[in-house]
Amino acid sequence: MYKDKTLVCKDCKKEFVFSAGEQEFYAERGFVNEPLRCKPCRTARKKAVKGSRELYTTVCAECGGEARIPFEPMQGKSYYCSTCFAKRQEG
């Protein structure tokens, strides 16, 4: 049903393939727009945005280790390190 498409990256202007599998993935999730950037440019953009966020350090309520969160911790709230947070999401 889907066929690979060649698109041009908005940032680097290089051609990249929007594969049939990626198109199916987009459709399953209800995305209507094709990607504007190639994978390396998308990754670089995410890193730039993510890297500019201020992270706060607090104590993990589960293991007692360091938990880094993207918002200021509040007294009386429980926060979890990424490992413990992932475990809680699983079960």
AA letter at 43:
T
Both ends of the chain: CA-CA distance in Å?
36
> Which segments within 34-79 are labelled E, that is strand?
56-59, 66-69
Q: In the chain, what are the domain boundaries? A: 5-51, 56-90
Mean pLDDT of 58-64: 96
Which pLDDT tens digit goes with each residue over 16-32? 999 999 999 999 999 99
Write down the pLDDT at residue 49.
Answer: 76
Please check the confidence at residue 39 and state whether its pLDDT lies above 90: yes
